[in-house]
Amino acid sequence: MVMRPEVGGPVKPVVLRRRGSVLERAILDAALEQLSTVGWAGLTMEGVAAGAQTGKAAVYRRWPSKQTLVADALRVSLPEVGEVPDLGSLREDLLSLALRMRDAMYSPGGLALRSVLDECDAEAAGLFHDLILRRVVQPGQQLIKDVVRRGIERGDVRRDATADIVADVVPALMMYRAKLGGREISEADLVETIDHVMVPLLRP
């Protein structure tokens, strides 16, 4: 919404005229911005409308609730980690993957997701469960399992290191440090995790 002064009168907001996917993307971007600045608790449909420079009715026509709006914003913004190249060793493969996961965590979509997980109540969180499972948890687990399988084939990893919990170690430590450590996860943190936790856990 832009402000245009009237001659001899107060400044009034002017709604930008946009339609279809252009307007929808502006609204979703505004929702992500709200999540990164004021968090889940502070996000309002009115604030999103103002950020998108549109009317509140345009938001409610597309999304009847805050939860449905945020779910769509996360759906379009959560980044793909992508395939992990074979770098020739378990350590290098795991470190490459951990760095990609960290970049995803601090992307706009990742920060928005963390705001939702940290602040919303159990009822609201339940609405995002399937989305988080399909777009974040399961792909991350599968990538780690792929790296472990590749390590087994190379002889870097013991053959029985295939339990599902192995795939949870790196994401769990990253979330723990991000939430309780009070600072951004560094590359040195990830190197420490790989060298002192994952490699000793997996090697023959």
pLDDT in tens, 14-61: 555 656 789 999 999 999 999 988 988 899 999 999 999 999 999 999
If 0-12 CB within 10 Å is exposed, 13-18 middle and 19+ buried, where does residue 128 land? buried
Q: Would you place residue 2 in the very low, low, confident or very high pLDDT band (cuts 50, 70, 90)?
A: very low
The DSSP call for residue 194 is I
Q: What is the pLDDT of residues 77-130, one digit of tens each?
A: 888 888 888 999 999 999 999 999 999 988 888 888 888 888 877 777 777 877
* Contact status, residue 157 vs residue 203, Cβ threshold 8 Å: yes
The CATH number assigned to the domain with range 78-202 reads 1.10.357.10
Fold match flag (2-64 vs 78-202): no
Topology (CATH) of 2-64 = Arc Repressor Mutant, subunit A (1.10.10)
Domain ranges of the chain: 2-64, 78-202
Residue whose structure tokens are 């992500």: 32
- Greatest extent of the chain over all pairs of C-alpha atoms, in Å: 80
SS3 47: helix
pTM recorded for the entire structure: 0.78
